Amino acid sequence: MASSRGGGSQQVIRTGDMEKMSLDQLKAVKEQADIEVNLLQDSLNNIRAATGRLENASAALHDLSLRPQGKKMLVPLTASLYVPGTLDDADKVLVDIGTGYFVEKTMAEGKDYCERKINLLKSNFDQLIEVASKKKTLADEAGLILQAKLKQSSPSS
């Protein structure tokens, strides 16, 4: 389940501070910011994948609700073994809510659950995008200032 992890200490480094730093410090700042940007991108991808899975589940639920009771179907027993069966009461569904707990819900409640989770993930995703873009601009600024300093210390005649 994708969850927003508490990151390390947040240091607000302003452009003015970066101008005063030495080359080594600036390099360290840029590397640190790059690592953080990568971590945030990974988290963003995870959230996107989880949202995709939930949307699949929601679509499957919707499809199931359209099927009549008694309909013949193939039930997966393993990844390569399907067994013919008939659809029983499609109004009750078992929902995995995490840490090994399953809850019996009606079809409507199940759809509602998927909706809620998708909304939660979307808001997490939006929050994360904000943080990630701020970090990216910081990393880019550090890179620019680093390049400028490098040019300064080794001027090409």
Partner 1 sequence: MSSSSTALRDLQSDLENKANDLSKLQKDIAKNHQVRKKYTIQLGENELVLKELDLLKEDANVYKLIGPVLVKQDLAEANANVRKRIEYISAELKRLDSSLQDLEEKQHSKREAILKVQQRSQSLQAGKAKA
Residues making contact with partner 1 (CB under 8 A): 1, 3, 5-6, 94, 97-105, 113
For β-strands 101-106 and 92-98, DSSP reports them as antiparallel
Beta carbon nearer to partner 1, 110 or 138: 110
C-beta of residue 68 within 8 angstroms of C-beta of residue 19:
no
Nearest in space to 28 (alpha carbons), one of 16, 40, 7, 11: 11
Cα 152 to Cα 157: distance, rounded to the nearest angstrom:
11
Distance in Å, CB of 108 to partner 1, minimum: 13
Beta carbon nearer to partner 1, 118 or 146: 118
φ/ψ of residue 101, rounded to 5:
-100, 135
Distance in Å, CB of 11 to partner 1, minimum: 16
Distance in Å, CB of 157 to partner 1, minimum: 39
Beta carbon nearer to partner 1, 82 or 102: 102
Cα 92 to Cα 69: distance, rounded to the nearest angstrom:
12
Distance in Å, CB of 111 to partner 1, minimum: 14
Beta carbon nearer to partner 1, 53 or 151: 53
